[in-house]
Structure 1
Amino acid sequence: MDANGGIEIELKFDVDELALLPRLNDLPGVQAVAEPVTHDLAAVYFDTNDLVLARAHITLRRRTGGDDAGWHLKLPQGVGRRREVHAPIGKHLQDEADAVPGSLAQLVRVYTRDSPLVPVVHLGTTRVVHALIGAGGETLAVLCDDRVEAQRLLHEPASAAWREWEIELVDGPEDLLDAGQSVLASGGILVSQHASKLARALGDRFPAESTTKQRRPTRNGPAGNVLLASLTEQIGVIRRHDPQVRQHAAGSVHAMRVATRRLRSVLATYRSLVDPVVVQHLRTELGWLAAVLGGSRDEEVLQRHLVGLLDRESPALLLGPIRERLESRSETDAHSAQLTLVTALDSHRYFRLLDALDSLVATPPFTAAADQDARVVVPALVTKEWKKLRRAVRLAAKTVPGSERDLALHTARKRAKRLRYAAETAHPLSPKRSARVSRFAQKLQTILGEQHDSVIARDRLLKRGGVEAYLRGENTFSYGRLHAKEQEQASSAQARFWKAWSRRP
């Protein structure tokens, strides 16, 4: 595992004080077992007072001693797998003993929100490491024989002591873990019933698994299950991508924005199933979040669009500093939008929105309509979105070409998007029909998206060319040429839209 972390793949085993290690040389691929090395480790685990990280199976600790001293954040990646992220311990350990590095705190902010991270457990471990060596001298895995003394620091402080074995892969194949588990099982050593050392140290204070299981949406089931499944999925997308947005990972803003828009759209479609006060509040707050995410995302898309325009033009037709002007302003606007987004993700408003979404799926404020058969309620809701799209398209057809029609087509695009999302929620009930409708709606959305991108690009070109460049005394020829080409692209997109609409299912 490198200094920045990686994927941790391991198994833990409960053993008593008298347990003896089996012959590890018999494991497949293992040519030798290195001489054991002993480490004295001390670790402090951090969480909120209500243990939100433990509930999400996330561990955050500061460890001293051994060859991996530092801050460790472990995020679940599936059964037996955790993504581990590291941060170094500062020079003045005493001064920052309880100060979690910002780089790690940001990765769990979607869980902790505005609750402080505090020490919850202290572990002292005497670790004996047995490295399993392969034919080429590489370390395939390590078996750690740990004797642990734990102190729970909050919620009725308590102490505990135990011994456990841990097999962690280094450069070996995953089937080495299976083989190790089989060898230990033959000697009566079983996989630990505790999820982690932290879980064992917290004892009865470790958050219990939820006993409420979400029912899968079915044709004969209640319509509320269909809505709940869609909400749960999109809230999960926000939770996964929040840390990535904070780290400026490519595509993360787009993914989080789409999830936010889906939630807002689905709540509008299914508004009759939920308390109207809750729907109104959540749609308002989701609209705010989508706008903040959109400010960053739209500048990114616009910059890419304009750069593509410039790259396709002959250099002889690019008169004046047009490239420098467009790229410089786009970068400035994108940076400003990113700062606004980061501020919003650390705001009280955002954290309360996350709280409200959690509450929505935990205890849905359903109306009586949510208990009705999904096969009756859901198709009717999708049909209603169809009708809204048709009305929007008819209105667009009647408008005067120009800015008025651009606005009407943008409204039609939003209606197509809502129909698409509504149809996707119905997939468990009628896969073929919902797929056909959602594909068609997505096609309209894509075409009208191209048309809308052209509207935005023309506005930027007009302001930069027709106004700012002119006032600076710069040549505006290239701005006008690119504006005209964008008009052609918009006209082409409109023609493709009407053709596609004429072939609607």
Structure 2
Amino acid sequence: MRTVVERERKFESPDGFRMPDLSHDGIAALDEPALFKLDATYYDTPELRLTRGALALRRRTGGADAGWHLKVGAAGGARTEHQRALTKSTSPPRDLMGLVQAATRGATVEPVARIETRRREWRLLGADGAVLATLADDAVVGHDLVDDRRVAWHEIEVELVEGDEDLLDAVERRLRRAGARPGSPAKIHRVLGERLDVLTAIDAGAATPVLAYAAAHRDDLVAHEPAARAGDVDGVHDMRVAVRRLRSTFRSFRELWDAGRVDGVRAELKWLGEQLGGVRDAQVMGPRLAKAVRREPAELVLGPVAADLSERFAADEAAALLALRRALTSRRYATLLSTLDELVETPPAMRVSPRWVNRRIHKAVRRADSLLDTALERQAERDTGDDDPALHEARKAYKRGRYAVEVRKLAGDKNARKLVRGLRGLQDLLGDHQDSVITRQVLRETAVQAFGRKANTFTYGLLYAEQVAHGRALVRALPAAQAKSRRRKLRRWLR
């Protein structure tokens, strides 16, 4: 199986669109266009779980990369594509199906759409002849095989090869000035759009945004699972964030569901978060400390500090990743996904008002405020040290508060969007502070181990002291960020 990361942007082009001159901004020339006829059959479950989870499984003929493709979301708008060579069989390869086992919940997949594309493709060349990107001009016809509905459109796709995001930005500016507009990131969404809307429409009254938010992050969790299982840094992070958002939602709006079931799901999500956290912590801490060592003058780095830290975190990551993979193939994980489906796809028995939803959001934010007030008072009155666990509790509470506000943001509330930004700034400060606390713990543990080997521990002490100073500086910055996040204009809508 071959894996590639696609960095691309898509645009819709209106009738009469003329391709602009793109030989600027580092693009020296465009070669002669190549012509392709692409024919792709997309596979999914009857409930379209792959498509809803930002996954696309297809069998495509034509073009330079004909074969079986599984597209998975990645960070920064990129997409990871797992590829297998074509065979005579029209059944998806087992290894690709293994990557989407969680998304399908073990259900079989079947053809749901066929997309035929007539493509003209140019290579955008640099001055040295390097291929910076490809530009495809596509005439597309999509066929929903279940509803027997057809749709046709025209789009332009620009995909990076050796170029960078600045090049994409420059090409986008020229295309948009010529009349192109941002398009759907996936052709399959255009074809199945009507069925997707029907399947995701749940009428829960004022609680509808809460269920929509939970469902969106259930889908995020599943969509990022293949990358997380592979140990991809962004995949692990994104799946972990989805878990946190779900736990927070089930806590802030707990009364919408049966208490026993929702508490059980929160406990299982905590378990899953711990599996992801072990991998994530090793992936973050290793580079963080390696960078800290590189910043030190060579004469202050005594002994193989960088090598010792690298060896430790490589071993930690390998062990944690093995545990994560076991968790993601367990019956326990499969049961968790099934329970999540039931909770987010069934309207709650309890009907609530918009005011009830707002009160729950307000409660989550106010609790975070109270915890931070207490922590800062302890700092001022008792000199508890900047590693006071109360600061960590405030950080977790602000995450829950921000996630609760995001429910309203998802529903298009501009006031909620502004408050999310305000809370994020405060949460980021608290997060950086907690990172410094954990870094100190790791440095102390590693220094003790080095001392036991009779190694020089001077550099560990130096790094520790720097983290203490950094943590204290972050605490001093908290009151200003706190005041900014509490401006009346950000919060008055919560009343």
Q: TM-score range by the shorter chain?
A: 0.5 to 0.7
Aligned-partner residue type, residue 460 of structure 1: V
Where does residue 243 of structure 1 map in the other structure? 226
Aligned-partner residue type, residue 109 of structure 1: Q
Gaps of 5+ in 2: 11-31, 74-78, 123-134, 151-193, 488-495
Aligned-partner residue type, residue 355 of structure 1: S
Aligned-partner residue type, residue 119 of structure 2: L
State the secondary structure of the residue aligned to 1:72.
strand
Query: TM-score, normalized by length of structure 2?
Result: 0.67
Where does residue 261 of structure 2 map in the other structure? 278
Structure 1's 100 and 48: CA in aligned 2 closer, same or farther, altered over 3 A?
Answer: farther
Q: CA deviation at 1:61?
A: 6.2
Residue 290 of structure 1 pairs with residue 269 of structure 2: no
Residue 394 of structure 1 pairs with residue 373 of structure 2: yes
Where does residue 453 of structure 1 map in the other structure? 435
Post-superposition Cα deviations, 1:295-345, rounded to whole Å, max 9, x if no partner, equal 111111111221121011111001122111111101111111111112211
Q: In 2, distance between residues paired with 1:347 and 1:328?
A: 29
Where does residue 335 of structure 1 map in the other structure? 318
Aligned residues: 397
Q: In 2, distance between residues paired with 1:423 and 1:459?
A: 33
Aligned with residue 257 of structure 1, among 240, 246, 249 = 240
Q: CA deviation at 1:88?
A: 4.0
Q: In 1, distance between residues paired with 2:33 and 2:424?
A: 58
Residue 408 of structure 1 pairs with residue 390 of structure 2: yes
Q: CA deviation at 1:442?
A: 1.1
Aligned-partner residue type, residue 296 of structure 2: E
Q: In 2, distance between residues paired with 1:86 and 1:501?
A: 48
**Aligned pairs (5 A) from 1:292-371:** 292-369=275-352
Report the RMSD for the aligned CA atoms in angstroms: 4.5
Q: In 2, distance between residues paired with 1:175 and 1:329?
A: 49
Post-superposition Cα deviations, 1:117-145, rounded to whole Å, max 9, x if no partner, equal 69x79xxxxxxxxxxxxxxxxxxxxxxxx
Where does residue 100 of structure 1 map in the other structure? 93
Deviates more, 1:426-435 or 1:354-363: 426-435
Q: CA deviation at 1:287?
A: 1.1
Q: In 1, distance between residues paired with 2:63 and 2:267?
A: 50
For the 8 Å contact 2:41–2:115, the answer to whether it is kept is: no
Aligned-partner residue type, residue 72 of structure 1: W
For the 8 Å contact 1:275–1:367, the answer to whether it is kept is: no
Structure 1's 388 and 101: CA in aligned 2 closer, same or farther, altered over 3 A?
Answer: same
Q: In 2, distance between residues paired with 1:169 and 1:243?
A: 30
Q: CA deviation at 1:196?
A: 11
Q: CA deviation at 1:274?
A: 2.0
Q: In 1, distance between residues paired with 2:34 and 2:435?
A: 62
State the secondary structure of the residue aligned to 2:139.
helix
Q: In 2, distance between residues paired with 1:488 and 1:55?
A: 46
Aligned-partner residue type, residue 398 of structure 1: R
Aligned with residue 499 of structure 1, among 464, 480, 488 = 480
Residue 194 of structure 1 pairs with residue 145 of structure 2: yes
Post-superposition Cα deviations, 1:389-410, rounded to whole Å, max 9, x if no partner, equal 1321233123654579521100
Q: In 1, distance between residues paired with 2:224 and 2:49?
A: 18
Where does residue 380 of structure 1 map in the other structure? 359
Where does residue 469 of structure 1 map in the other structure? 450
Structure 1's 71 and 414: CA in aligned 2 closer, same or farther, altered over 3 A?
Answer: same
Residue 490 of structure 1 pairs with residue 456 of structure 2: no
Q: In 1, distance between residues paired with 2:72 and 2:436?
A: 42
Residue 422 of structure 1 pairs with residue 404 of structure 2: yes
Structure 1's 428 and 46: CA in aligned 2 closer, same or farther, altered over 3 A?
Answer: closer
Residue 177 of structure 1 pairs with residue 139 of structure 2: yes
Structure 1's 32 and 260: CA in aligned 2 closer, same or farther, altered over 3 A?
Answer: closer
State the secondary structure of the residue aligned to 2:232.
coil
Post-superposition Cα deviations, 1:193-230, rounded to whole Å, max 9, x if no partner, equal 53799x9xxxxxxxx9478465599xxx9321120121
Gaps of 5+ in 1: 10-30, 38-42, 122-163, 182-190, 200-207
Residue 109 of structure 1 pairs with residue 101 of structure 2: yes
Q: CA deviation at 1:436?
A: 3.3
Q: In 2, distance between residues paired with 1:259 and 1:33?
A: 41
**Aligned pairs (5 A) from 1:9-48:** none
Q: CA deviation at 1:471?
A: 1.0
Where does residue 479 of structure 1 map in the other structure? 460
Aligned with residue 439 of structure 1, among 407, 421, 433 = 421
For the 8 Å contact 2:327–2:333, the answer to whether it is kept is: yes
Structure 1's 62 and 496: CA in aligned 2 closer, same or farther, altered over 3 A?
Answer: closer
Q: In 1, distance between residues paired with 2:415 and 2:438?
A: 34
Q: CA deviation at 1:458?
A: 0.7
Aligned-partner residue type, residue 432 of structure 2: E
Q: In 1, distance between residues paired with 2:314 and 2:5?
A: 31
Aligned-partner residue type, residue 418 of structure 1: R
Post-superposition Cα deviations, 1:66-96, rounded to whole Å, max 9, x if no partner, equal 999996245599xxxx997432479xx9xx9
For the 8 Å contact 2:120–2:137, the answer to whether it is kept is: no
For the 8 Å contact 2:378–2:384, the answer to whether it is kept is: no
Where does residue 26 of structure 2 map in the other structure? none
For the 8 Å contact 2:451–2:457, the answer to whether it is kept is: yes
Identity %: 30
**Aligned pairs (5 A) from 1:52-91:** 59=57, 72-73=68-69, 85-88=82-85
Q: In 2, distance between residues paired with 1:333 and 1:305?
A: 15
For the 8 Å contact 2:436–2:470, the answer to whether it is kept is: yes
State the secondary structure of the residue aligned to 2:438.
helix
Q: CA deviation at 1:455?
A: 0.9
For the 8 Å contact 2:279–2:320, the answer to whether it is kept is: yes
For the 8 Å contact 1:273–1:367, the answer to whether it is kept is: yes
State the secondary structure of the residue aligned to 2:100.
helix
Q: In 2, distance between residues paired with 1:300 and 1:32?
A: 43
Larger Rg: 1
Q: CA deviation at 1:268?
A: 0.8
Where does residue 175 of structure 2 map in the other structure? none
Structure 1's 33 and 195: CA in aligned 2 closer, same or farther, altered over 3 A?
Answer: farther
Structure 1's 107 and 170: CA in aligned 2 closer, same or farther, altered over 3 A?
Answer: farther
**Aligned pairs (5 A) from 1:119-158:** none
State the secondary structure of the residue aligned to 2:83.
strand
Aligned-partner residue type, residue 395 of structure 1: T
For the 8 Å contact 1:224–1:366, the answer to whether it is kept is: no
